[in-house]
């Protein structure tokens, strides 16, 4: 009786191991295909929002698009999102916009006021594609997209240069003043 149990259990165990292996391989394949499709779709969407020469240019262009009577844009930080610069095609930019209000710019029906009266701060991700830099909202998981951009050879070379980070007294600010 003991030999029958061993004979019966050996094929069952092998079948279970094979089933688990096939399930894992199928799951990995589906994950990879979904991640590739999501990356390509998100980059196509972002290209439709605008392609910029630099992340800073993207911030300024978007500020001009979404704010009324723009006075200036301060770029407080613009650098790779990785601490060691290993992903130069993924940047995070922190900025302050000085303007009258948000869109619409109609005098009879003006847009909402800014958070701090005449200024508002924010931060945005920018990804470097082979076409240029694109804005990518945080909710679209820009780091995941950046990872797959590298694997799919969709990433541009990026720019590993960092704007200096340091004490507030040494903090570099890039100012954009309209009309200059």
pLDDT in tens, 73-108: 999 888 888 877 788 999 999 999 999 889 998 888
The answer to which of 15-24, 125-134, 146-155, 156-165 has the lowest mean pLDDT is 156-165
What is the pLDDT, as a whole number, of residue 144?
A: 95
The reply to whether 136 falls in a domain is yes
Cα–Cα nearest to 58, from 168, 170, 169, 159: 159
Count up the domains in the chain and report the number: 1
Structure-token pair, residue 110:
């003006």
The reply to whether 27 falls in a domain is no
Residue 67, domain extent: 36-176
The reply to whether 133 falls in a domain is yes
Q: What is the pLDDT of residues 31-73, one digit of tens each?
A: 999 999 999 999 999 999 999 999 999 999 999 999 998 999 9
1 pLDDT more than 70? no
* CB burial readout 145-179, b (16+ within 10 A) else e: bbbbbeeeebbbebbeeeeeeeeeeeeeebebeee
The reply to whether 120 falls in a domain is yes
166 pLDDT more than 50? no
Q: From the centroid of its chain, how far is CA 154? A: 14
Question: What strands, in cross-sheet order, belong to the sheet with 90-98?
Answer: 133-136, 119-128, 90-98, 72-80, 174-176
The reply to whether 86 falls in a domain is yes
Euclidean distance between CA atoms 149 and 163, whole angstroms: 24
């Amino acid at each position: 009786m003991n030999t029958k149990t061993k004979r019966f259990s050996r094929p069952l165990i092998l079948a279970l191991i094979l089933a688990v292996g096939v399930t894992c391989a199928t799951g990995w394949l589906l994950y990879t295909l979904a991640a590739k499709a999501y990356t390509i779709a998100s980059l196509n969407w972002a290209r439709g929002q605008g392609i910029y020469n630099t992340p800073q240019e993207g911030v300024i262009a978007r500020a001009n698009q979404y704010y009324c009577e723009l006075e200036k844009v301060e770029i407080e930080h613009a650098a790779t999102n990785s601490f060691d610069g290993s992903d130069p095609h993924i940047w995070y930019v922190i900025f302050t916009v000085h303007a009258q209000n948000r869109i619409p710019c109609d005098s009879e029906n003006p847009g909402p006021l800014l958070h701090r009266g005449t200024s508002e701060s924010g931060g945005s991700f920018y990804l470097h594609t082979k076409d240029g830099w694109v804005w990518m909202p945080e909710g679209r998981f820009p780091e995941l997209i950046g990872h797959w951009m590298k694997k799919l050879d969709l990433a541009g070379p990026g720019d590993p240069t960092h704007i200096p980070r340091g004490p507030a007294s040494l903090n570099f600010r890039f100012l954009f003043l309209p009309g200059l």
